[in-house]
Structure 1
Amino acid sequence: MSPEVFVDVLREALSMVILLVSAIILPSLFVGLAVSVFQAATSINEQTINFLPRLIVTLLALSWGGHWLVQKLMDFTFEMVDRIPQVVG
């Protein structure tokens, strides 16, 4: 395997990981930020208030986007399997 092919496969794999993780983490990040702004505005210093909304949004993102996430992962896997002759040869 040439270094160029290895770097290309690694780059595609890392971009896929970033895409899949960001689809789950970004909604939770925005909800956590909104709850933190609300806590700062109302002077509520309870740390557990931030946990439940983020958990619910993460679970909703997984349930609503799960089909898309699995489809992207399957497409990537099939593409990598199709590239085996290029990598080996």
Structure 2
Amino acid sequence: MLTPENAVALIAHAVYIIGLVVCILVIPSLIGGLIVSIFQAATQINEQMLSFLPRLLITLGMLVFAGHWILRTLSELFIETFQQAGHLVG
């Protein structure tokens, strides 16, 4: 039976997994952007491509590096959710 406690636990688990996946992709890009910003401030080079391209490459690299883990984690979340759906309905 779907009680409010079960619904909150299910949603909290899903939000945790999505937050974890987003952090795996975003945090390295933020660190790369910070390094490029420091380099731009030190050299006074204000080229927009210099700030965009490294972040894009870092994000794509993280997708290649952690893509298998991300897909496995999300598929486990969906499989677990659909397995619980039969028990939650009634």
Shorter-chain TM band? over 0.9
Question: Aligned partners of 2:51 and 2:88: how far apart in 1?
Answer: 47
Question: Aligned partners of 1:82 and 1:37: how far apart in 2?
Answer: 49
Residue in 2 that maps onto 1:54: 55
Q: Are 1:27 and 2:28 counterparts?
A: yes
CA root-mean-square deviation: 1.1
Question: Aligned partners of 1:27 and 1:34: how far apart in 2?
Answer: 11
Residue in 2 that maps onto 1:15: 16
Q: Secondary structure at the match of 1:83?
A: helix
Please, what TM-score do these two structures have when normalized by structure 1? 0.92
Identical amino acids, percent of aligned pairs: 42
Question: Aligned partners of 2:43 and 2:88: how far apart in 1?
Answer: 58
Q: CA deviation at 1:86?
A: 3.2
Q: CA deviation at 1:38?
A: 0.7
Q: Secondary structure at the match of 1:45?
A: coil
Residue in 2 that maps onto 1:44: 45
Q: Are 1:4 and 2:5 counterparts?
A: yes
Listed as ranges, the gaps of 5+ residues in structure 1 are none
Residue in 1 that maps onto 2:72: 71
Please, what TM-score do these two structures have when normalized by structure 2? 0.91
Residue in 1 that maps onto 2:84: 83
| One-letter amino acid of the counterpart of residue 4, structure 2 | P
Q: Which runs of 4+ in 1 moved over 4 A?
A: none
| One-letter amino acid of the counterpart of residue 35, structure 1 | V
Q: Describe the superposition over 1:14-57 as per-residue Cα deviations: whole angstroms up to 9, x where unpaired.
A: 11110111111111111000000111111222232100000011
